[in-house]
A and B are shown apart, each in its own frame.
Chain A
Amino acid sequence: EVLLQQSGAELVRPGSSVKISCKASGYTFTDYYMHWVKQRPEQGLVWIGRINPANGNTVYAEKFKSKATLTADKSSNTAYMQLSSLTSEDTATYFCTSGRYGSSPFDYWGQGVMVTVSS
């Protein structure tokens, strides 16, 4: 069974950073991209970017290039996303989701991590 297990909810201060994790199991970690998706409360889905865990190559949506940093650890089958200079606009649920290389859909999804930015 494929599972993407994400870390727990975060309450963070404005201006700080947060790093959330996504541990994959049930498939070969290096055979799939890991993507990250943002969903603000009662709103739609926004693609942040993707990482190729096999070589660490990343692609970001323009608006997240200075906000998000994606990394992956092959030894533990875990992907990470760090969000920096947090503001209230970053309050959202963040999903990790994996898809095969190429222009593939998002086959598997984590349960989501709620990040709340508040003083």
Chain B
Amino acid sequence: DTVLTQSPALAVSPGERVSISCRASEGVNSYMHWYQQKPGQQPKLLIYKASNLASGVPARFSGSGSGTDFTLTIDPVEADDTATYFCQQSWNDPYTFGAGTKLELK
């Protein structure tokens, strides 16, 4: 299975820029997606195919990368961005998720 390794928990101040990384154990082309999950809620698609903003998602969110290394960037961070962020690949079966990066605001 394709293992996705995410950066550990992060703490940032509102207004700052934050980057969350995701490294795949094998190539996934550009088929890496990012989701935001708040406590008690279902995940929400933010970025699809590495760099495409999902419908209704603020332009503060952006994605980059290809192959095995991918990044989700939030700039500037707002208080409402407190959540866990997951990467997910759909290039190789079975689809897999990263363990999640918990973003906290100072």
Contacts and interface: CB of A to CB of B under 8 A. Distances in A.
Contacts, number: 52
A61 B45 contact: no
A62 interface: yes
Interface string A103-119: 11111011110000000
Interface string A78-105: 0000000000000000010101000111
Nearest to A4: B42
Given A44-B98, A45-B100, A59-B93, 8 more contacts: A47-B94, A61-B1, A105-B54, A106-B33, A106-B35, A107-B45, A111-B42, A112-B42
Interface of B: 1, 31, 33, 35, 42-45, 48-49, 54, 86, 88, 90-91, 93-100
